[in-house]
Chains A and B, each alone.
Chain A
Amino acid sequence: MASHGIHDRVAIVGMGCTTFGEHWDSSADDLLLDAAEQCFAATPALAKADVDAYWLGTMNSGQSGTVLSKPLGIDYKPVTRVENMCATGSDAFRNACYAVAAGAYDRVMAIGVEKLKDTGYSGLVRSNVAGDGTAPEETLTAPAAFSLLDPAYCEKYGVDPHDMRQAMTHVAWKNHVNGAKNERAQYRTEVAKDRIAAGAGKVAGRLGVMDCSGVSDGAACALIVRAEDSHRYTDTPVFVKALSVIAGPASGPIDSSYDYTTFHEVVACATDAYAQAGITSPREQISLAEVHDCFTPTELILMEDMGFSERGHAWEDELAGVFDLDGELPVNPDGGLKSFGHPVGASGLRMLFECWLQFRGEAAERQLDSPQLGLTHNLGGRPGSCVSFISIVGANQG
């Protein structure tokens, strides 16, 4: 695969992120405007009138560019609405970056929003394509689909299900510990491990509600310019090192060679992104990773797919605290989908927002010691049938 990348050619010079949560008082319009206004307020050198084009990510909160142009009052400018399941916000960012790198525009905004709490249902609601009623997605819920990973992983690596359950509990515990330190997170309380474990199995497989990401409303955005122009707008731009989106043939659910202990899409995506960024030892080189912890077993598998852990050993690394805030490689220092919440279209940009804060030294209690490289990751779909996104961003060029 020829993937030339746009290493260090564009930079983020401003960001905004609403609190994530149950925003009964805010519409998607309000959330978009709040995130954008926050971003412009923090970037005085770049006003709304200066933005040449927009990329809007939303999975289910509206269609077409007018979902953004209307609430922001955008005067006849390009707005592209992007949808790529849970990688929606990230893919909006990716396409915005490419437009600047291509020279088509000088200043663009990527913005993502999701309003999930207006549906009246718990969890994500799919918009169904008319079908023949035979797809398992018609009935099997998302937590159930991801819970398939747990027994398959234990079986393949001979992991004691009790140990696996403890590792899953640690993921939820860790991400809540981190989220409790985050003023924008949906859930700002630490949750004791025994409470997490007590709910196990009540949702799907061995997953309990504490193994599932928060269902929330929120919006986040980023202003992107050419790297060489970036210091006009901020002293601390964030440089884009790598962007990768991978869609697989969605063959896992119909191909017996797929064993439900990996996401092939993520492996390919990481390989691509690491090549673009020149990363050879991800666990050593990456300072923080914001990954798609939609359900606790997902995060464990991702650690292996991204090369942070050896195959069959992510559960041990997780339990050893490798991915804790004070561990060797902090994973989801902002609380992750689990604790920060998961308004689909906004999540990818929320992950970049944590890198933005960390590189600028503004992450408060979560602040890491001079982080240099951050990785963000989304997974859209289900095991065996998904899209994967990875970005690598850095505090410095080169």
Chain B
Amino acid sequence: MPTGILSYSAYIPRYRLAHEELGSALGMGGGAGSRAIASYDEDTTTMGVEAARRALGNGARPAALYFATTAPAYFDKTNAAAIHAALDLGSEGFALDIAGSARGAVGALRAAAASGGLAILSDLRTGKPGSSDERDGGDAAAAFLFGPGERVIAEVLGEASATAEFLDRWRRPGEMASGQWEERFGLEAYLPLIRDASSRALAAAGIEQADHVIVSSPHSRAARTAARELVGRVAEEAPAIGYAGAADPGIRLASVLDRAGADQSILLVVAADGCDATVLRTTEAITSHRAEKPVAEQASGGREVRYATYLTWRGLLDRELPRRPEPARPAGPPSARSESWKFAFVGTKCDDCGQVHVPPRRVCVGCGATDHMSRAALAGRAGRVATYTVDRLAYSLSPPMIDAVVDFEGGGRYTLEVADAGPEDVDIGTALELTFRRLYTAGGVHNYFWKARPV
């Protein structure tokens, strides 16, 4: 039985920062295009959950999660554990962060391929105002489920790596921007590494030229130059959302898988402090098991925000907040007790009368039965607005806060913040779906929970 990618999905956040807006705000040249930006309530963990949920849409329950990012929401705490909880995977299994450089993406993919796990590549790219990192970065996530089976859509044919220590790009923990050496130096360092790893990987796969080629690197010029050398038979149509760090190879691989035919080869080159080249080949199954939401479709949508809004969302502009107390940080023991509720939106259903409760209750609201409950997972359920409000007084990084009373298909109701929407997008009856978000950060603790967004 073949082993390889079983399913995949990308997540591109809804918001965009147009280069023109950035340029005009800073009084410099803008140019065409835009970058994808995570909303104020998103981070690499929440975006990773989005991508992973989509990749696991078939109900798969991977035994291991490998989470790669250059922008972890926490250090000294496993972010993959929060993702594991949000995916409602129970307590068994492995969840690992591979945090640091963009090369972590390859680590996650290789580990998942070796063990039959889920690789989650998620990144949020920041830079100093006016920098090329700020302008040319992008926020996104992608997830790839590996395993054996007849439904494998792409197999790994060969891979090769090269490693070198040189000072091209660096960032100390806690800083929001990276340092970079002079561009020419990095270019000269990378190109031989890319040529070396790519030729060895292609040789291992037994092919001379790949149908599809992806070259991803934080050194954008090295990536562009190498891509001109390593031409694929089919031109890449990479999404124009900006360089997405550890998620960049994932987003672009997902984009290729969206379009590739059966029995086509893909050379995936990631150049970060060395170079890792992987050759994959699609199978017949690719034609019927593509991601539900193609990368191109997600990349083409988007709502532009002002530069000041972007700065505020990233914490780079210290704005006056409403004269309301800051919310309390979520407490450890209650959060642990309600793990399946808080992280996976699991409630209870009364065994006697069928009433659904979110959060779980021990005494049924419908019939009063006590402790006659079974679990009811609602994260994937469709919802509708029963009533709603726009709260202009609430503490929020992005006022006004919109809240809706959401009734779920099959039972259950909860009051949730509405994400990725303006007041004009919500009315009684509006269809909503759940999305995992960071409600706020208080006392150094991120408050992860679910919001609802218009479908």
Contact = CB atoms under 8 A, between A and B. Distances in A.
A130 B417 CA distance: 21
B199 interface: no
Interface string B96-112: 00000000000000000
A132 B386 contact: no
A340 to B, nearest CB: 22
Given A139-B401, A140-B394, A132 B415 contact: no
B391 interface: yes
A184 to B, nearest CB: 27
Nearest to B449: A134
Contacts of A123: 324, 393
B1 interface: no
Contact of B341 (A126, A132, A255): A132
Contacts of B415: 136, 140, 253
B390 A133 contact: no
Interface stretch (A201-209, A228-236, A305-313, A359-367): A201-209
Interface stretch (A92-100, A141-149, A324-332): A141-149
Contact of B389 (A133, A138, A148, A253): A148
Contacts of A125: 325
Interface stretch (B272-280, B300-308, B331-339): B331-339
A152 interface: yes
Interface in A332-358: none
A255 B334 CA distance: 23
- Which interface residue of B341, B359, B415 has the most chain A CB atoms within 10 A? B415
Contacts of A24: none
Given A132-B331, A253-B415, A254-B357, A140 B391 contact: yes
A122 B323 CA distance: 6
A13 B19 CA distance: 74
Contacts of A143: 391, 393
Interface string B425-443: 0001000000000011000
B331 A130 contact: yes
A263 B349 CA distance: 25
B342 A254 contact: no
B378 to A, nearest CB: 11
Given A134-B338, A140-B391, A205-B389, A121 B325 contact: yes
Contacts of B328: 128, 130-131, 133, 138
Given A141-B393, A144-B389, A253 B414 contact: yes
A134 B342 contact: yes
Contacts of A144: 389-391, 393-394, 401, 403
Contact of A133 (B330, B403, B417, B428): B330
Contacts of B357: 254
A3 interface: no
A170 B205 CA distance: 79
Contact residue range for chain A? Answer: 35 or more
B330 A131 contact: yes
Interface string A103-141: 000000000000000011111011010111110101111
Nearest to A152: B387
B234 to A, nearest CB: 47
Nearest to B400: A204
A202 B342 contact: no
B289 interface: no
Contact residue range for chain B? Answer: 35 or more
Interface in B327-358: 327-331, 333-335, 337-338, 341-342, 355, 357-358
A134 B341 contact: yes
A139 B395 contact: yes
B8 interface: no
A164 to B, nearest CB: 13
A139 to B, nearest CB: 5
Contacts of B414: 136, 253-254
A202 B325 CA distance: 19
A151 B388 contact: yes
Interface string A18-46: 00000000000000000000000000000
Interface in B384-427: 386-396, 401, 403, 405, 407, 411-417
A281 interface: no
A155 B384 CA distance: 14
A260 interface: yes
B389 A260 contact: no
A132 B335 contact: yes
Contacts of A126: 325
B365 A249 contact: yes
B447 interface: yes
- Which interface residue of B363, B389, B411 has the most chain A CB atoms within 10 A? B389
A256 B413 CA distance: 6
A370 interface: no
A251 B341 contact: no
A148 B391 CA distance: 10
Contact of B447 (A121, A133, A202): A133
A141 B391 contact: yes
A134 B341 CA distance: 9
B327 A139 contact: yes
Interface string A273-315: 0000000000000000000000000000000000000000000
Interface in A160-201: 201
Nearest to A142: B393
- Which interface residue of A128, A138, A260 has the most chain B CB atoms within 10 A? A138
Interface string A243-280: 00000010101111011100000000000000000000
A204 B413 contact: no
B318 to A, nearest CB: 19
A119 B325 CA distance: 9
Contacts of A134: 338, 341-342, 359, 449
A119 B417 CA distance: 26
A309 to B, nearest CB: 21
A155 B447 CA distance: 34
A125 B330 CA distance: 18
Given A131-B331, A132-B331, A136-B416, 20 more contacts: A122-B393, A133-B330, A133-B342, A136-B415, A139-B395, A140-B391, A140-B403, A141-B391, A141-B393, A143-B393, A148-B388, A148-B389, A151-B428, A152-B386, A204-B394, A205-B391, A253-B413, A254-B365, A254-B413, A256-B412
29 contacts: A125-B325, A128-B327, A131-B331, A132-B330, A132-B331, A133-B335, A134-B338, A136-B414, A136-B415, A138-B439, A139-B439, A139-B440, A140-B401, A140-B415, A143-B391, A144-B393, A144-B394, A144-B401, A148-B389, A148-B403, A151-B387, A201-B392, A204-B389, A205-B389, A205-B391, A249-B365, A251-B365, A254-B357, A260-B386
Interface of A: 119-123, 125-126, 128, 130-134, 136, 138-141, 143-145, 147-149, 151-152, 155, 201-205, 249, 251, 253-256, 258-260
In the A-B complex, list the 10 residue pairs whose CB atoms are closest, starting with the nearest: A133-B330, A144-B391, A130-B331, A152-B387, A133-B447, A136-B415, A205-B389, A251-B365, A132-B334, A128-B328
